Amino acid sequence: MVSAGKQQPGKAYAPQRSARSDGAQDQGRLLPVLAVERMLRAVLLVGVGLILLTHVHTDWADLVRRFAEQVGLDPSRNETGRLISRLAGSAPRHAQRDGAIAIGYGVLEAVEGYGLLRRRPWGEYLTVVSTALLVIPEVQELLKHPTGLKVGGLALNVVIVIYLVIRLIRRRTRQS
């Protein structure tokens, strides 16, 4: 048997992770969930970006209008109508720009997801910074066109930032 302070000859000493003294386990149970969510968003964003880049001359307004009708949405109402009117006025260069932005943001989401999945502090810091930076535009968009989905998304992002900041602060105080 090897004591905690001694090392067996020829074997590297690796300290074992243990539960905290109060019996609670690592509070990072949500990190894999956040990581999977970030990875799924990354796949979706990169996919949309690639579609936009490879189909720059597609009539997106007509495509969205027909899709909305097929799923039972009224294309002349609220968000669907606003989306269709915005797409109707977009030029191919806008599709290229939006596709490149979607791919870039998708790569960022993938890096965040990897960092969170591997429980890397840099992944938590990156997620806090990138998510917190997007709260301001989310609030502006919510004030222009409020919807329940936007409120839910904003609330979720604020909760994620608070959760990760608390984790980072706790880690730092344990290391001190």
d(CA 51, CA 46): 9
Give yes or no for a contact between 79 and 147, defined as CB atoms under 8 angstroms apart. Answer: yes
The highest-confidence range among 23-27, 61-65, 93-97, by mean pLDDT, is 93-97
Contact (Cβ atoms closer than 8 angstroms) between residue 131 and residue 162: no
Q: Is residue 65 predicted with pLDDT exceeding 90? A: no
30-34, 45-49, 70-74, range with the lowest pLDDT: 70-74
Average pLDDT, the chain: 83
The residue with greater pLDDT, 9 or 159, is: 159
19 pLDDT band (50/70/90 cuts)? Answer: very low
Of the pLDDT bands very low, low, confident and very high (cuts 50, 70, 90), residue 143 is: very high
pTM of the complete model: 0.73
pLDDT above 90 covers a percentage of the chain that reads 51
**Residue 68's pLDDT band (boundaries 50, 70, 90)?**
confident
Which range, of 24-38, 97-111, 112-126, averages the lowest pLDDT?
Answer: 24-38
Angstrom distances, CA of residue 122 to CA of 36, 114, 118, 119, 129: 17, 10, 10, 9, 10
Average pLDDT of the residues in 62-69: 83
